[in-house]
Amino acid sequence: MRPNNPLTSERAVCLWIATFPLRCERFRRPELERRPVVLVSPTDLRRVWQVGDVARRAGVSAGMTVSQAIGLCPALAVLEPDPVYYDEQFTHLLDALETVSPVVEPVELGRAYVGVDGVERLYGDPSGQLTAVANAVARRPALGHANWHAVARLGWGRGKFTAWVAATRARPGSPMIIPDDGFRAFLATQPVAVLPVGVETHRRLRRLGLTTLAHVARLPEVALVSQFGKEGQTAWRFANGLQHDPVVGHRRPEPIVLTLQLPVPVADRAMLLHAWRMLTARALQHPRRSGWRVRALRARAILEHGASWLTEITLKDPTAVAEHIVDPLAAKLDQSPPTGAATQLVVEFTTFTPGTQELHLFAQHAASAARAGRQRALRTAAQEIRTRFRRPLLHHVIEIQPWSRIPERRYALIDYEP
């Protein structure tokens, strides 16, 4: 269900869409485009999470209370979050990126990396690779009315860090390319705020008068390590262009998803937990789960009035016991309960680890289901290759004259038709 050796790529394209959830709401409701609008936090409905441009010009900022924001901007439109919808839109974006390269690494909502090592024969130089990414996002039919192409920022560089900084400096429709022989000069001019270190380290660097990466690069590594520890070493290596984190492709497994439609809206915690316990038990009985333990899952709830609730759980110890899954879910419900009554519940097992040897003895259904999934994936890949190159490039080796001493007569190649 998961690859042992994920694909990696040193050259990267970073796609970044700032305030992705808020833009999802604007694409879904075009009437909000010219209005001052904010999105409240999924974990605290009294706090502003993301701010639109019009509201920002009125003085509204992320982190302030909703009452403070309305005081600054009385015409403010306050939106409740819909994390399930945002997750679906981001999944569509990842699907679009995977048509360009199989090495795609999502980071957060609205930001993902595409590995481009080895795609030169398909798309040409970095400019052609960026065009391929932009076109894939623009023509993806599953994105509905969301015009991500008009707001996405793209950057090309060696390693994820350089590509990310390039994307932050690019403009929508004008991607930025940082060539291999110029990335050090480019990084030297960037502010220390781009370094992947903690807020306190950023503050201390600025207090010491280190405002750009060039200032950090001039210092001895040992001096930064003595002051900031591991983060000092990280900052020094990135500032000197010595660290190039590769893009690591993450094959998304075929999840096990079960849905429960509630007859009436439910807001009581005990009833919700009981329903999720039943749903989890049913999901554990799925044939494809046999012989595997659950490592990570998602729990979703569709709420009244179009809102939603979403939580992701990674289990410390993989399990096939329902109670060991429901207990962390109960803790999540206590920390951040749904903001309304639920009309539909969904449990989704996303990551698995092999079970014990005894469990594998009874995994016949899981093995056959896995083979069927591989066959579907192979059929889809063959169709995409035939469509892209207008001729079949996959072949099947068949035995013709195994007794012949001439190797060319023993076997033949025929077009592969899965």
Predicted local confidence at residue 170, as pLDDT: 95
Predicted local confidence at residue 371, as pLDDT: 58
3-state SS track over the chain: CCCCCCCEECEEEEEECCCHHHHHHHHHCHHHCCCCEEEECCCCCCEEEEECHHHHHCCCCCCCEHHHHHHHCCCCEEECCCHHHHHHHHHHHHHHHCCCCCCEEEEECCEEEEECCCCHHHHCCHHHHHHHHHHHHHHCHHHCCCCHHHCCEEEEEEHHHHHHHHHHHCECCECEECCCCCHHHHHHCCEHHHCCCCHHHHHHHHHCCCCEHHHHHHCCHHHHHHHHCHHHHHHHHHHCCCCCCCEECCCCCCCEEEEEEEEEEECCHHHHHHHHHHHHHHHHCCHHHCCEEEEEEEEEEEEHHHCEEEEEEEEEEEECCHHHHHHHHHHHHHHCCCCCCEEEEEEEEEEEEECCHHHHCCCHHHHHHHHHHHHHHHHHHHHHHHHHHCCCCCEEEEECCCCCCCHHHHEEEEECCC
Tokens representing residue 16 in the block: 């970044």
Predicted local confidence at residue 318, as pLDDT: 87
Q: What does the alpha-carbon distance between residue 162 and residue 194 come to, in Å, rounded to a whole number?
A: 10
Q: What does the alpha-carbon distance between residue 165 and residue 182 come to, in Å, rounded to a whole number?
A: 14
What's the CATH fold of domain 256-360?
Dna Ligase; domain 1 (3.30.1490)
Query: Cβ neighbours of residue 288 under 8 Å, at least 6 residues apart?
Result: 254, 256, 365, 366, 369, 370
Query: How many other C-beta atoms can be found within 10 angstroms of the C-beta atom of residue 299?
Result: 23
Tokens representing residue 51 in the block: 């701010």
What is 1-35+75-251's CATH number?
A: 3.30.70.270
CA atoms within 13 A on the CB side of 77: 16
- What is the average pLDDT score of the chain? 86
Tokens representing residue 291 in the block: 């012989």
Q: What does the alpha-carbon distance between residue 233 and residue 276 come to, in Å, rounded to a whole number?
A: 45
Predicted local confidence at residue 329, as pLDDT: 92
Question: Which amino acid does the sequence have at 10?
Answer: E
**The whole model's pTM is what?**
0.71
Whether the CB-CB separation of 97 and 112 falls below 8 Å is answered with yes
Q: Hey, where are the domains in the chain?
A: 1-35+75-251, 256-360, 377-418
Q: Residue-wise pLDDT tens for the chain (418 aa)?
A: 444 567 899 999 999 999 999 999 988 888 888 899 999 988 888 899 999 999 999 999 999 999 999 999 999 999 988 888 888 888 889 889 999 999 999 999 999 999 999 999 899 999 999 999 999 988 765 444 567 778 899 999 999 999 999 999 999 989 999 999 999 999 999 999 999 999 999 999 999 999 999 999 999 999 999 999 999 999 999 999 998 899 998 766 678 999 999 989 999 989 999 999 999 999 998 888 877 888 889 999 999 888 899 999 988 888 888 899 999 999 998 888 888 899 999 999 988 877 654 344 444 444 555 555 667 777 777 777 777 677 777 777 777 776 677 776 777 777 766 6
Query: Any bridge partners for residue 214, and if so which?
Result: none
